[in-house]
Chains A and B, each alone.
Chain A
Amino acid sequence: MPPSTLAIAMIIPDTKTYLLVGSVLAVLAAATAVGQVLKRRLDAGLNPAIVEQFHLRVRTWWLMCTVLAAAFIVGREITVVLFGLISFWSLREFITLTPTRPGDHRALFWVFFVITPLQYVLVGLEEYSLYSILIPVFGFLFITARVSFSGDPKRFLERTAKIMAGLMICVYCLSFAPALLSLPPKGKPIDENARLLFFFVLVVQFADIAHYLWGKLLGKRLIAPEVSAGRTWEGFLGGIASATLFGTVLWWSVPLTAWQAACLSALTATAGMAGGMTMSAIKRDRGVKDYGTLVVGHGGVLDRIDSICFAAPVFYYAVRVMLDQWPTG
């Protein structure tokens, strides 16, 4: 492909992208319309809390899709920066919720102002061999060492584990979402990878909303009442089935066969549900319902992206396997 064609292909989205964005807009418009109808029928005996939840989710969808679409048009770097900011904010919520001791202060400063930005700089530079080990290896070594140097041994393992969990969930895992944009081979039009990222966000969010609706419609058997009073096996399975169907219908937008898309969607949706469940457990342990209600006036970013955090690395490596691009050597 001559360089000029390549440049144009990177700027102008192809037909498939238009189709994908168009169908998403159509679904969103339909969801908004349903929401409006539900709002008018509130007196007809519908639970207002459920309608409110529905609205909240639809609004998040609009926001996410608008921001993603805007980021695609402006470029890969902007998308990476955007995910970096989301990581920073959700880590802020995570650590605020987690009790730390004054001895952790310096380590936390490094976590927020060095490790988190560095991870996203490496993702931006497409240094896969570095960003895939930065936090689990060097971040782990550094944090445990830095906390020990601060001279406070009280509940040492517990404290370092909490900081590490925050970094892994909010920064490391989430950074695999923008990393999708630099899937090899290098130099291919960004559109294909951008559609993969879009597909990923859509499937996870769809699984979330489907899980919620199935749970409300059929939910009976709670998975773990101590962890979450709303998560049922019916919702869990219904969510995965719906998301698989959804992903299969959208197979044409990604460079995979329909079968691969179905497997990928099922896997991603399962990981996303597991993420929601895990974050639920952390929240219950700390005695809060939402990260958003933790501090009044701040929307709970972590509440909205918990499933994305967990599903991102699973999706990333599954796609690499399916495209036969498993990192070797």
Chain B
Amino acid sequence: MLSRWPRRLSEYNFRQGDGTSFSNVIERPARSKTLAPLPDDFANRGWFARLTASVLAGTAKLISGASARWIDCQPDTCQRVYFANHTSHLDAVVIWAALPPEVRSLARPVAAADYWEKNAIRRYLAHQVFNALLIDRLKVKVHQSPVDLMLRAIGDRYSLIVFPEGGRTSGEELGEFKSGLYYLSKKRPELELVPVHIDNVNRVLPRGEVLPVPLLSCITFGPPIYLEHREPKAEFLRRARDAVLRLKEM
């Protein structure tokens, strides 16, 4: 039995079927048949979008005073799912900004379509700057479940920033995790699931406020977890939640 899932795609030997390889343990899931991979427009975005991205990242870091801590985890361009507690509007931007530039350009925050599709500026920011994956919360189609959309959106290149609690919590208590994270790693078990703990950002910009107060916040990235073979959903989700909670104490 493997002590851990293979971490990189290159480590992950799909073809080998001689019984010793882990290809027997992990069945490579077929990509969703209903959704073909998208052409990658984001990689060829213009200089203005790139400039906006670095200016926004700098501003976000300045306002939130965010310092990034990496505990048993290093910034890497491999495919990852960053999952974090959700306390403020700024969360996704702050995590995105805390990543080093080359990692940042590969990380796609998952966000609500009804908010980010509202006007041209938000659309531009979502598509050209953050490269956000917009999920329409109002009409979830049968063949386009959010998990399928996420899988298509990351292809074999991008990472995701998700908030598995579903909605924002008050910032004190970490809510129960929704099951998306489980289905995501069931289909792509080689993805590194990186727990992220966000501290104090809810005081920088609490719910319902527009103007931020420049306090100091802290973003902690923890050691990746993986879905174990045949691990029950509830157990996995509890483990993922604990992984985020543990970072709070460190």
When C-beta atoms are compared, the residue in chain A nearest to B202 turns out to be: A102
Does A296 belong to the interface (CB within 8 Å)?
A: yes
Q: Which of A278-329 contact B (CB under 8 A)?
A: 294-298
CB pair B216 A294 closer than 8 Å: yes
Partner of A92, one of B65, B68, B69: B65
Chain B residues near A112 (CB, 8 Å)? 213-214
Instruction: Decide: A109 and B211 in contact? CB cutoff 8 A.
Output: yes
Q: Which residues of B contact A109 (CB under 8 A)?
A: 211-213
A92-B214, A96-B216 in contact; A296/B69 too (CB < 8 A)? Answer: yes
Among the listed B65, B203, B207, B212, which residue makes an inter-chain contact with A295, where contact means beta carbons less than 8 Å apart?
Answer: B65
- Residue of chain B at shortest CB distance from A93: B216
Cα of A109 to Cα of B69 in the assembled complex, Å: 27
Q: CB of A108 within 8 A of chain B?
A: yes
B214 touching A297, Cβ below 8 Å: no
A100 contacts partner chain B, Cβ-Cβ < 8 Å? yes
A95 within 8 A of B: yes
- A96 contacts across to B, CB distance below 8 A: 65, 200, 203, 215-216
Point out which of A93, A106, A295, A297 has the most chain B C-beta atoms below 10 A from its C-beta. Answer: A295
Once the chains bind, are A102 and B213 in contact (CB under 8 Å)? no
Whether B213 contacts A295 by the Cβ 8 Å rule is: no
Chain B residues 173 to 214 lying within 8 A of chain A, measured CB to CB, are: 200, 203, 206-207, 209, 211-214
Q: How large is the interface on B (under 10, 10 to 19, 20 to 34, 35 or more residues)?
A: 10 to 19
- The secondary-structure label for the interface of chain B is loop
Q: How far does the alpha carbon of A153 sit from the alpha carbon of B212 in the complex, in Å?
A: 22
A105 at the interface (CB under 8 A from B): yes
Cβ of B67 under 8 Å from chain A: yes
Chain A residue numbers with a CB within 8 Å of B57 are none
- Partner among A100, A105, A298 whose Cβ is within 8 Å of the Cβ of B216: A298
Residue interface bits A96-134, CB-to-B below 8 A is 1, else 0 = 100010100110110010000000000000000000000
A318 CB to closest chain B CB (Å) equals 34
Give the contacting residue for B67; candidates A93, A100, A296; CB below 8 A. A296
B218 touches A105 (CB 8 A): no
Residues of B within 8 Å of A297, CB to CB, are: 67-69
The residues of A that contact B67 with a CB separation of less than 8 Å are 295-298
Please, what's the 1-or-0 string for B38-70, where 1 marks a CB less than 8 Å from any CB in chain A? Answer: 000000000000000000000000000101110
> Which chain A residue lies CB-closest to B208?
A102
B209 CB contact (under 8 Å) in A93, A95, A105: A105
Count, chain A residues at interface, CB 8 A: 16
In the bound complex, what is the Cα–Cα distance between A294 and B68 (angstroms)? Answer: 13
Closest residue of A by beta carbon distance from B211? A109
Would B203 and A296 count as touching, CB distance under 8 A?
A: no
Residue B217 is within 8 A (CB to CB) of chain A in the complex: yes
- Asked whether A295 and B214 contact (CB < 8 A) given A102-B206, A105-B206, the answer is no
| Other-chain residue from A93, A105, A294 in contact with B213 (beta carbon distance below 8 A) | A105
CB distance from B143 to the nearest CB of A (A): 41
A295 touches B217 (CB 8 A): yes
Known: A102-B206, A102-B207, A105-B206. A298 touches B65 (CB 8 A): yes
Q: For residue A106, which residues in chain B have a CB less than 8 angstroms away from its CB? A: 209, 211
Cβ contacts under 8 Å, A294 to chain B: 216
Interface centre among B207, B213, B217 (most CB of A within 10 A): B213
Residues of B within 8 A of A296 (CB): 67, 69, 218
CB distance from B218 to the nearest CB of A (A): 5
A106 to B208: give the CA distance in the assembly, Å.
11
Per the bound structure, the CA–CA distance linking A109 and B63 in Å amounts to 12
**A96, A100, A106, A296 pick with most chain B CB within 10 angstroms:** A96
- CB neighbours of A105 from chain B (8 A): 203, 206, 209, 213
Inside 8 A of B216's CB, which chain A residues have their CB? 92-93, 96, 294-295, 298
Q: A92-B65, A100-B203 are in contact. Are A295 and B218 (CB under 8 A)?
A: yes
Chain B 207-243 interface 0/1 with A at a Cβ cutoff of 8 Å (1 = within):
1010111111110000000000000000000000000
CB-defined contacts of B200 to chain A, threshold 8 Å:
96
**Which one of B69, B207, B215 has the greatest number of beta carbons of chain A within 10 Å?**
B215
> A93 — which chain B residues lie within 8 A by C-beta?
216
Q: Please provide the chain B residues from 80 to 108 with a CB less than 8 Å away from any CB of chain A in the complex.
A: none
Q: CA A296 – CA B200 in complex, angstroms?
A: 13
**Given A102-B206, A295-B65, A296-B67: A95 touches B211 (CB 8 Å cut-off):** no
Chain B, Cβ-Cβ closest to A88: B214
Task: Find the A residue at minimum CB distance from B199.
Answer: A295
Cβ of A294 to closest chain B Cβ, rounded Å: 7
Give Cα A233–Cα B191 distance, bound, in whole angstroms.
59
Closest-by-CB residue of A relative to B213 is A108
Q: Which residues of A contact B (CB under 8 A)?
A: 92-93, 95-96, 100, 102, 105-106, 108-109, 112, 294-298
Q: List 12 A-B contacts (CB under 8 A).
A: A92-B65, A92-B216, A93-B216, A96-B203, A96-B215, A106-B211, A112-B214, A294-B216, A295-B217, A296-B69, A297-B68, A297-B69
What 15 additional pairs, Cβ within 8 angstroms, besides A106-B211, A112-B214? A92-B65, A92-B214, A92-B215, A92-B216, A93-B216, A96-B65, A96-B200, A102-B206, A102-B207, A105-B213, A112-B213, A296-B67, A296-B218, A297-B69, A298-B67
Closest 8 CB pairs of A and B: A297-B67, A295-B216, A102-B206, A96-B216, A108-B213, A96-B215, A109-B211, A295-B218
